[in-house]
Amino acid sequence: MRQDFSNVSNKKLSELFPVLLEPHNSAWIDYYFVERDFLQSVFGDTILRINHIGSSSVPGLIAKPTIDILVEIPHDIDLSAITEKMKDEGYVVNNPKKDIIMYLKGYTPRGFEGQCVHIHVRHYDDWDELYFRDYLISYPNIAHEYGKLKLKLKEQYPHDRDGYTEAKGVFVKKYSEYARAEFPYRYIPVK
């Protein structure tokens, strides 16, 4: 079923899709594997790298109950047929600043339904999200600090997902830089 939110006001969207946080759910990794297998069936061998990113990928971390997936593709891929297939499978298409395209699942005109998934499609590169995830996994005390920050920001931005995300930016940037220093060249693309 195709969903289209282009005619829905920002106020209505914020009511339908508030900032939600939940304790870590060990089933999130299973959802990632199901999505990964599905994406590989749709994208075929054009996927250069695929990763579970975001807080749901960090064991023990409080998170939005959303599976974030980074799909890296070559520059010469034609996404039109893939996008049509994703829409047919019920994904909503979004075009945020950082991604080439983003596919969303779990968003309906009635609010969240089922498992939410964000599929970030980008060109193959060296992404901070990978470093940040690895740093939080390596340093549970920093992940705990991040969880406390997220709870505080949820109270400040209960219906402003963009504001909530932007407010985490300084923390994310700081520890992404620490991770790059500790794990240099971990995600540099192979030429």
Percent of the chain predicted with pLDDT > 90: 81
In a domain, 190, yes or no: no
The reply to whether 37 falls in a domain is yes
Euclidean distance between CA atoms 66 and 56, whole angstroms: 7
Q: How far is CA 158 from the centre of its chain?
A: 19
Residue 87 belongs to a domain with what CATH number? 3.30.460.10
Domain assignment present for 113? yes
Residue pointed to by tokens 């983003």: 102
* pLDDT tens-digit readout, 94-125: 888 889 999 999 988 887 889 999 999 999 99
159 domain-assigned: yes
> Which pTM was predicted?
0.92
Q: Which domain holds residue 48?
A: 10-182
> How much is the pLDDT for 13?
66
What is the rounded average pLDDT of the residues 43-50?
Answer: 95
3-state SS, residue 183:
coil
- Number of domains within the chain: 1
The rounded distance, in Å, linking the Cα atoms of 146 and 17 is 22
Residue 169 placed within a domain? yes
| 191 assigned to some structural domain | no
Packing angle between helix 28-43 and helix 80-88, nearest 10 degrees? 130
Residue 1 lies in a domain: no
80 is a domain residue: yes
Nearest Cα neighbor of 70 from 93, 33, 102 is 102
